[in-house]
Chains A and B, each alone.
Chain A
C-alpha cells in the first residue's frame, strides 16, 4: 500500500481543477459550497482510504456526487422537450481554459456538459441529476456542445 500523502498535497495539486469542474457543473454561485463539502467529505474519509493510487479520480468522484446533491437540493424541474435530439458522443480532452467557456453556458447546458465530460456520467444519470428526462439531458448536452464548438472554432 502506498502511504497516503499529506492532505495538503491533494489541495495543492487538485483544488483548482475540482473548483473548475464544480463551477461547470453547478455554476459559480453554488460551486464554493460544493467545493467545501467535497473536501470536507474527502478529509473525513481520507485516513481510511485504502488506495492512494488515484487521488484525483477519487476527489472528482466525490465532487460529482456533491454536484448531484446540489442539483437535487435546488429542485430543478424537468424541461419539456419537443423532440429528442440524437447526439454523437465526443470525448475531447478539455484544456484548462475551456471551463471558462463552459461556465458561460446557460445553466442546463453547462451542467449537462460538466456532468458528462468532467464527471463522466452517462445520460441517464445526468438526467437524474438535472431532474429531467434522458432526452432532455441529451438535448442540453448537444446544445451546449454545439455552442462550445462554435466558440472554439
Chain B
C-alpha cells in the first residue's frame, strides 16, 4: 500500500494535481511540518503544531488537493538540516507567499532580508516595511509569519533587546539566536 501511495503522489505531481505537498521533518526542537506548492515553500509549522488543523488550513486557503509527498520538500529539508547544524547561513529556496498579504507581507519580506547572525527591532522592521509607526502591526506580522525559520522572524527583538515572542516558544527563539551566535 505504501508503494501505491508513493506512486500516486508522483503521478499526481507530474499531472499537475499536487497543489500542496507536505512532509513532517525532524528538527532539534521536534517535528516541523513543511508544505510546498509548485511555486515553492508555502508553510513551515513549528513544533507543537496540530497536524489536523495545519492541513485543514492549507486545504481551505490554498487547495484541498493536499497530499503527503515528501519528495517536493527534499531541498527544504536538506537546507534546514544544514542550518540546524550551523553549516548554512542563507536559505536558497523558492517561496510561495500566498498565505500572507498587505502590510504583513511587506513586513515578512523585510524580515526575509535580515542577515544571519543579526537582529532588528520591531520598530526597525516596521520602518523597513514602509511605516515606522506601525510597530504593533509589525509585531502581528512576525507572529503570523507563515514560513518561520526560513523567513527569520526569530531575528526580530523588542527595542530594549528583550526577546519578544515566538510561535515555537521562547526557548526555541533563544536557541536559534544562540545557534547564530547572537546570544
Contacts and interface: CB of A to CB of B under 8 A. Distances in A.
A36 B59 contact: no
Interface residues of B, number: 22
Contact of A6 (B1, B12, B15, B64): B64
Contacts of A7: 59, 64-67
Interface stretch (B2-10, B74-82, B115-123, B153-161): B2-10
Contacts of A117: none
Contact of A4 (B4, B12, B59, B67): B59
Interface string A9-53: 101000110010000000000001001100110011011000000
Q: How large is the interface on A (under 10, 10 to 19, 20 to 34, 35 or more residues)?
A: 20 to 34
B58 interface: yes
A19 B12 CA distance: 18
Given A5-B59, A6-B58, A15-B1, A40 B65 contact: no
Contact of A40 (B11, B22, B64): B11
Nearest to B68: A8
Interface of B: 1, 4-5, 7-8, 11-12, 15, 17, 20, 22, 55-56, 58-60, 63-68
Interface of A: 3-9, 11, 15-16, 19, 32, 35-36, 39-40, 43-44, 46-47
